[in-house]
Amino acid sequence: MIRKTRLFTPGPTPLLPAAQFAMAAADIHHRTPEFRALFTKVLSQLKDFVGTSNDVILLSSSGSGAMEAAVSNLTSPGDRVLVVTAGKFGERWVGLAKAFGCHADVVSAPYGQTVSLDAVKAALKPDTTAVFVQATESSTGVRHDVKGIAELLKAEKSEAVLIVDAITGLGTTHLDMDAWGVDVLIGGSQKAVMMPPGLSYLAVSQRAWDRMETSKNPGVIVKGLKSKFAAIVTDGQGEMKGSLFRIAHIGFFDYLDTIAIIGALEQVAVAAKLPVPGLEFGKGLIAAQKVFAERVK
């Protein structure tokens, strides 16, 4: 007997036939006018799908990758952020915020329930820089009052940017990013658009773009070293991603290489005004020189 496999998971979802046919078509080279035209068309249609006049960017990552991108680009270590959580994916916001060195005020509700606006208001502080919430908590099926939270931020004259995980919500829930004042709205390919997992997209307001210019997360150090000194280091991994950077020490390096990278790091860190206690020129270099002098007689 032939048995048809039926996918009833909340994501991945059964694929749209048109998506299956598109995947079966011949590849398009990514550096051709044909690909650029297709990519531009997709971005334009994503704006229509989201219902926004804001920029929409497409990432080759899961929805969690887009969530991480939002945290890493919109916060700095030590920032106070507010996380609304009532399920597994709200907890993911908490984990990401802590991994990037933020102080996370958490407003939570038991699984199967939502968080009241009064609770959000009570947890909102004058120095809250960002609010993270799900439109729909797919681990429980609960919808949060995104519109109400956006209105609350306006009423309280809060400077916090509002970031909404709408990976499940887009296409299933009424969301009006522009009218409500949502700053970042995140979607994923494996939900209502009925495509395979692996793509995510973010609609980004101008206010969010402006906030990114002031972000001081460690990724700034990594990018600054490469752009200013052509020195390439790597980000942290796992839970430490965005919280530290890694400099290799097992290759063909000598004392002068070490001094050079520490000096370059100080230049980038001081210029970026990273919130590191006692950060100033020369401290790292002096420490390295002392260790070298003690170990090499």
Alpha-carbon dihedral sign for residues 209, 101, 150, 133: positive
pLDDT at 261: 86
Q: Which residues contact 268 (CB under 8 A, 6 or more apart)?
A: 220, 221, 224, 225, 228, 229
- Which has more pLDDT, 284 or 205? 205
Q: 201: part of which helix (H) or strand (E)?
A: strand 200-204
> Could you read off the pLDDT of 40-60 as tens digits, one per residue?
999 999 999 899 999 999 988
Q: 49: part of which helix (H) or strand (E)?
A: helix 33-50
User: Structural domain boundaries of the chain?
Assistant: 17-212, 219-295
3-state secondary structure at position 204: strand
Which residue's structure tokens are 């609770």?
A: 119
Q: Which residues contact 114 (CB under 8 A, 6 or more apart)?
A: 86, 142, 143, 144, 145
Local confidence band at 71 (pLDDT 50, 70, 90 cut-offs): very high
Q: Rounded to 5 degrees, what angle do the CA atoms 121, 139, 124 make? A: 10
Determine which of 122-131, 149-158, 205-214, 274-283 has the lowest per-residue pLDDT on average.
274-283
Res. 268: pLDDT tops 70: yes
Residue by residue, DSSP assigns 93-131 as HHHHHHHTT-EEEEEE--TT----HHHHHHH--TTEEEE
Record: fold of 17-212: Aspartate Aminotransferase; domain 2 (3.40.640)
Strand-pair category, 142-143 with 161-165: unpaired
C-alpha 157/C-alpha 57 separation (Å) is 28
Q: What are the C-alpha distances in Å from 46 to residues 58, 105, 186, 200?
A: 9, 32, 11, 11
> Could you read off the pLDDT of 209-252 as tens digits, one per residue?
999 888 877 666 877 777 777 878 777 666 556 566 777 777 78
> Could you read off the pLDDT of 5-28 as tens digits, one per residue?
888 888 888 888 888 888 888 888
Is the Cβ–Cβ distance between 67 and 160 less than 8 Å? no
Q: Pick 219-295's CATH classification: 3.90.1150.10, 3.30.920.30, 2.10.70.10, 2.70.98.30.
A: 3.90.1150.10
> Could you read off the pLDDT of 82-112 as tens digits, one per residue?
999 999 999 999 999 988 889 999 999 999 9
Q: Which residues contact 251 (CB under 8 A, 6 or more apart)?
A: none
Q: Read off the pTM.
A: 0.75
